[in-house]
Amino acid sequence: MSDKKTVITNWGNAFPDLVQMGGNKLFKIVGPVIIGIELIKLPRSEDYRPYFVCYSLFGNDLDECLSAPTMLLEFKNEAERSFAVPYIKHHELFPKICERVKEQLPLPFNRDVFLNEFLNMLDLYAQTPPLSAAPLSFLQAKLKEFGVEVALYTGDIEKVYTLIENIERQNWDRSHFKLCGADVEQWVKQVGGLLSQREYTAQKVAENKNNKKLEKLKKSELLYQPS
């Protein structure tokens, strides 16, 4: 049987561009986000499940940024089911599971990432359950807002305008916004105002990236390719 320390060490060795943070997380910084792999113990069992995770660094401080992932994407086995890996069988199953994970990574860990790659990943995530069940929900809207923030960070202003225009055209679910304590018109106005806050937002990202808790993480950049 593999203990949890051995398990996270095995995953870290398989993904050398990631650095362990805490007992179950392997992270790196890519521009204004943290991406990586998180091993989450399943409730009422001695199994764990690997996830691809993405944390925004646009928050007011690092604790806020790391309070919850912006993305939590499951990997699938050959039967297209989520993994449930018994700790007792980790050593036996790990090589095959690791290969499946590498095949399904939505972003590379070993280089800079281009904006279009990142936005494509967000679109993919938006089409996965449970998000896909409500394409005009507040949760989907916040994912679109995240895309605007990321595009703004890269300096691709043309893409920012395109994303904002797409947001303004959508017939968002007002009842779900209200359920989440939000108003559609106010939110759309807030997203449009992100352009004028670019310098302030960049400063927040820089402060969060420079937090001592992240000093050991490897870094890549998030870039856009000018046409």
Q: Where residue 173 falls among pLDDT bands split at 50, 70, 90?
A: very high
- pLDDT for the residue numbered 57: 98
Q: Can you tell me the mean pLDDT for 64-85?
A: 94
Extract the tokens encoding 125: 């995530």
User: 1 pLDDT band (50/70/90 cuts)?
Assistant: low
Residue closest to 153 by CA, chosen among 223, 53, 75, 66: 223
For the chain, give the secondary structure using H, E and C: CCCHHHHHHHHHHHCCCCEECCCCEEEEEECCEEEEEEEEECCCCCEEEEEEEEEECCCCCHHHHCCCCCEEEECECCCCCECCEEHHHHHHHHHHHHHHHHHHCCCCCCCCEEHHHHHHHHHHHHCCCCHHHCCCCHHHHHHHHHHHHHHHHHCCHHHHHHHHHHHHHCCCCHHHHHHCCCCHHHHHHHHHHHHHHHHHHHHHHHHHHCCHHHCCCCEECEECCCC
Average pLDDT for 21-30: 96
Percent of the chain with pLDDT over 90: 93
pTM of the full structure:
0.95
Confidence of residue 170 (pLDDT cuts 50, 70, 90): very high
Q: Give just the sign of the alpha carbon dihedral 86, 91, 93, 99.
A: positive
pLDDT digits (tens, 9 = 90+) for 118-131: 999 999 999 999 99
- Give the chain's mean pLDDT: 96
When pLDDT is averaged across residues 59-64 and rounded to a whole number, the result is 96
Across residues 166-187, what is the average pLDDT?
Answer: 97
Whether 58 shows a pLDDT value over 90: the answer reads: yes
What is the widest separation between alpha-carbon atoms in the chain? 55
For the chain, the residue count is 227
**Mean pLDDT value across residues 59-71:** 97
- The predicted-structure confidence for 179-214, as pLDDT tens digits, reads as follows 999 999 999 999 999 999 999 999 999 999 999 999
pLDDT at 3: 86
155 phi, psi to nearest 5 deg:
90, 10
Quick one: pLDDT at residue 227?
Answer: 60
Residue 101: per-residue pLDDT: 98
